Amino acid sequence: MPDRSLEEYFFRFSIVIRTFEEKYAQSNEFFVNSNPLIKFGITDAAIEYSTKNNYLVLTNDGPLYGLLSNKNIAVLNFDDLSKSNILIN
């Protein structure tokens, strides 16, 4: 990605991110109830746990993508999007 495109991306993202609503969960909420924690780690378990609210997950983590897509959870592979120039144009 050329430097100018990267700057443009971050500029656009800095505008869009202000509209995001952040939610938090304590680790003891998903630590007990999430099997992926054992194999994938606490961050991936938290992401998987958060999908109970029907959120779309955007990731470039192959194993996490596989875990979520196998559970029919809405997930997009960031690498696939960036290769198609969807995020830049």
Task: Report which DSSP code applies to 70.
Answer: H
More confident residue, 37 or 20: 20
Residue 62 counted as domain residue: yes
Residue 63 counted as domain residue: yes
| pTM of model > 0.75 | no
Residue 70 counted as domain residue: yes
- CB 61, CB 78: distance < 8 Å: no
pLDDT band at 19 (very low <50, low <70, confident <90, very high): very high
Q: Look at the chain and report how many structural domains it folds into.
A: 1
State whether residue 76 is helix, strand or coil: strand
pLDDT at 87: 53
Percent of the chain with pLDDT over 90: 21
Query: Residue 12 and residue 73: Cα distance in Å, rounded?
Result: 27
pLDDT at 65: 93
Residue 66 counted as domain residue: yes
Range of the domain at 46: 41-89
Residue 81 counted as domain residue: yes
- CB 50, CB 44: distance < 8 Å: no
pLDDT at 34: 55
Query: Residue 58 and residue 61: Cα distance in Å, rounded?
Result: 9
